[in-house]
Amino acid sequence: MRLSRIKDLLHAEMLWGQEFLDIEVSNACGADLMSDILADTKTNAILLTGLTHRQIIQTASMSDFAAIVFVRGKVPPEDVIELAKQHKMPLLRTNHPLYETCGILYQEGLKGEGPRADISTRSSPKEHENIQGMKLSYDIEGNDFNNAGKATEQAKKILKQIGADSAAIRKVSIVAYEAEMNIVIHAEKGNLRFNITPRYIEVIAEDTGPGIADIEKAMQEGFSTAPDRVRELGFGAGMGLPNMKKFSDTFEITSVVGKGTKVRMVINL
């Protein structure tokens, strides 16, 4: 289904990206929780959401969505639209609520029957012999939501440039972004490191902060200590650590209360 057809069906207004109306879309994701959006494996999809802050652009770009439709008549601030331009992310708005928006598109044939990203496949080691060892390091400041996600975005660009396969890049993007957001939300400061080798990519997130008193409980889906102001942004749904473990081939976490937390994740190539 062309984006122009989606625009007509939803009686939507084009906020930016008129030149992208001819793109083909085969899937959709409707969600107001960042972890759900990030972990969605649909390809060639549009994102339907009521979230309008800067992080929605970073998250949609990280997950390779083709466009965003803001529901419930929501209009993002100008700085969000400018960020979308940088990412070449078309933006639309509709007055329909999320439930009706999903229903309209499904009834008209956008049934999500297109391909999903296969992020469990393994490529032959020979395909990665050209990848040279590389280390990346990024400092992360707590509560810095304006820059949250930029470290993961930079690492993702580098992985694409050196020829890592798309399945590995997708998994690295998910675990790194979740880790980066955990530092921003919960810690005073931290560091995100990438160790890139021909056989695997290691992601290490280490922070200075309150630490985790009960790691077993923190690993449970839905458990969260995020404050209300963070939940209002679509974060803090208690899926960060579970998603990091789910999309890693190796997952290790240590934490000391009053000092901080370290998470090590490995994605095999």
Q: What is the pLDDT of residues 159-188, one digit of tens each?
A: 999 989 888 999 999 999 999 999 999 999
Closest CA to 125 of 157, 165, 162: 165
Does the pLDDT at position 249 exceed 70? Answer: yes
Helix (H) or strand (E) holding 189: strand 189-196
- What confidence category does residue 100 fall into, taking pLDDT thresholds of 50, 70 and 90? very high
**What is the Cα Rg of the chain in Å?**
19
Q: What is the pLDDT of residues 201-241, one digit of tens each?
A: 999 999 999 999 999 999 999 998 888 888 888 888 888 99
Region of poorest pLDDT, from 41-45, 152-156, 195-199, 246-250: 41-45
CA angle 39, 43, 49 (to 5 degrees): 60
- What confidence category does residue 146 fall into, taking pLDDT thresholds of 50, 70 and 90? confident
Q: Give the per-residue pLDDT at 45.
A: 93
Q: Give the per-residue pLDDT at 226.
A: 87
Show the domains of the chain with their CATH numbers.
3-107 (3.40.1390.20), 125-268 (3.30.565.10)
Q: And the tokens for 92?
A: 């639309």
189 burial class (0-12, 13-18, 19+ CB within 10 angstroms)? middle
Closest CA to 21 of 1, 50, 37, 40: 1
Q: And the tokens for 261?
A: 């937390």
Rounded average pLDDT over 92-113: 92
User: Are 63 and 40 a contacting pair, CB within 8 Å?
Assistant: yes
| 261 or 35, higher pLDDT | 261
